Amino acid sequence: MPLSLRALDTLRAAAMLAGLFFHAALAHSPLVQPFFPTADASQAAALDLLLWPLHLVRMPLFFVIAGVLAARSLARHGMAGLMQRRARRLLLPLLVGVPLLHLAMTALIQQAMDQVQRPSPLLRWLRQADELSLPLGTGHLWFLYYLLLFLVLLWVARLLLPPGAKAWLRALPLPVWLIGLPLLLTPALATVSAPHPAPEGLLPQFWALAAYGAYFAFGFLFGTRLQQLAGVRVLALLGVGGGLALAAFLALLDAPRAQAGALLGAVSALASAWLTLALIGLALRTCKRQGPLLRYLSEASYWVYLVHLPLLFALQFACMDQPWSWFVKLPLALVVTLGLCLLSYELLGRRLLGRRLPDQARASASTP
């Protein structure tokens, strides 16, 4: 595996496993306590200082890497081959996973409403309803839905754009992307509150199409030149600029001002774009090897992300009545959930995901 793809594979797996931490830690986040089903009585304000920077870069990393590997697969197999491979990797998990996830989450929340003695604010509110009726959505599998949409848009763009426009887009230099990405993201992020919500609805949301589509386009168009992000000067620029934007984002992230608006959208866009690119450059510079354990986690991480949420919620609902500190509950939830996910991967996941396709053998799936 070329060094750049090995680094991206490692980064993709790390970001995906960080999704497990993100969803587990939300139970102890004061910022989302009124709205999150598993919000626990034990809260930790310090977690918000870690969660929301992670939220700004975790999914953007997935979409950049998906764009890079989509371009490689397109070059090898053509548009029909790309669609065939991604249908197996994206469409089937989406079609099977969304109904199963909806049924599982409905059953878990209903059971928690009936049995938990120290419910979260959301559970208390749901108890007032005569019958639980959760709207059908994509849940945490929303990224599969949007990746499929981006592939359709890619197919349309290849048909409609003249060759000169395609060549011009592919030739855009890095400085243009460093400025252009935040500019593309700002109008989209300015329309949603911060932290921006997951676009779980069945209807595509403009801000998500624009924001995550920009990251996918960057990966697709600039993917062969990503090594430029590993330069010391570029990393320093991205780190300092992204850090300052992140500080401004966190300073604005209190309840009265965490509303849609140009200022919050701008600092969110700058922090998200520059820190995402900095992480990619850092990975390309430092991730030179992938040992057996890391290789195994990279292979299993997609399955872990697909199946983790019902297991995590079941465990957190079971622990809500326990008078333990978040410092006990959070590591317990992480370790047990990851262990169960890896066990299910060995028993079932390997067979369902099947053998890797040729382009996936060089780098793990282009999907988070």
Cβ neighbour number for residue 52 with a 10 Å cutoff = 23
Whether residue 368 is predicted with pLDDT greater than 90 in this model: the reply is no
| 109 in a structural domain | yes
Give the pLDDT of residue 352. Answer: 84
Specify the DSSP class assigned to residue 204: P
Whole-angstrom Cα distance, residue 294 to residue 319?
30
Whether residue 209 is predicted with pLDDT greater than 80 in this model: the reply is yes
pLDDT band at 183 (very low <50, low <70, confident <90, very high): very high
Helix 174-189 × helix 232-252 angle, to 10°: 10
| 188 in a structural domain | no
Give the pLDDT of residue 53. Answer: 95
Residue 94 near residue 142, CB atoms below 8 Å:
no
Of the chain, the percentage scoring pLDDT greater than 90 comes to: 79
Q: What are phi and psi of 102, to 5 degrees?
A: -60, -45
Task: Work out the angle at residue 233's Cα, subtended by the Cα atoms of residues 253 and 53, and round it to the nearest 5 degrees.
Answer: 20
Cis peptide before 30 (omega within 30 of 0): no
Residue whose pair of structure tokens reads 């957190």 in the numeric block: 316
Single-letter amino acid, residue 325: S
| 110 in a structural domain | yes
Q: If 0-12 CB within 10 Å is exposed, 13-18 middle and 19+ buried, where does residue 285 land?
A: middle
Task: Please name which of 229, 221, 100 lies closest in space to residue 171, comparing C-alpha atoms.
Answer: 221
Whether residue 366 is predicted with pLDDT greater than 50 in this model: the reply is no
| 245 in a structural domain | no
User: CA separation (Å) from 16 to 7, 30, 199, 221, 366?
Assistant: 14, 23, 17, 23, 12
Residue 364 near residue 13, CB atoms below 8 Å:
yes
Q: Which two tokens stand for residue 163?
A: 């060759």
| 149 in a structural domain | yes
Please write the tens of the pLDDT for every residue from 129-177: 767 788 889 999 999 999 999 999 999 999 999 999 999 999 999 999 9
Whole-angstrom Cα distance, residue 368 to residue 364?
9
| 182 in a structural domain | no
Residue whose pair of structure tokens reads 């990405």 in the numeric block: 181
| 180 in a structural domain | no
Single-letter amino acid, residue 119: P
Residue 215 near residue 67, CB atoms below 8 Å:
yes
Report the chain's C-alpha Rg in angstroms.
20
* Enclosing H/E stretch for 327: helix 326-344
Whole-angstrom Cα distance, residue 180 to residue 193?
22
Whole-angstrom Cα distance, residue 161 to residue 82?
19
Q: Is 87 helix (H, G, I), strand (E, B) or coil?
A: helix
| 274 in a structural domain | no
Find the range with the poorest average confidence among 49-58, 130-139, 206-215.
130-139
Give the pLDDT of residue 29. Answer: 95
Region 206-229: mean pLDDT is 96
Structurally, the chain folds into a number of domains equal to: 1
Task: Please name which of 89, 233, 244, 96 lies closest in space to residue 182, comparing C-alpha atoms.
Answer: 244
Single-letter amino acid, residue 294: L
pLDDT band at 258 (very low <50, low <70, confident <90, very high): low
Structural domain of residue 315, as residue ranges? 3-172+195-227+287-362
Give the pLDDT of residue 252. Answer: 87
Cβ neighbour number for residue 163 with a 10 Å cutoff = 7
Residue 181 near residue 115, CB atoms below 8 Å:
no
Q: If 0-12 CB within 10 Å is exposed, 13-18 middle and 19+ buried, where does residue 208 land?
A: buried
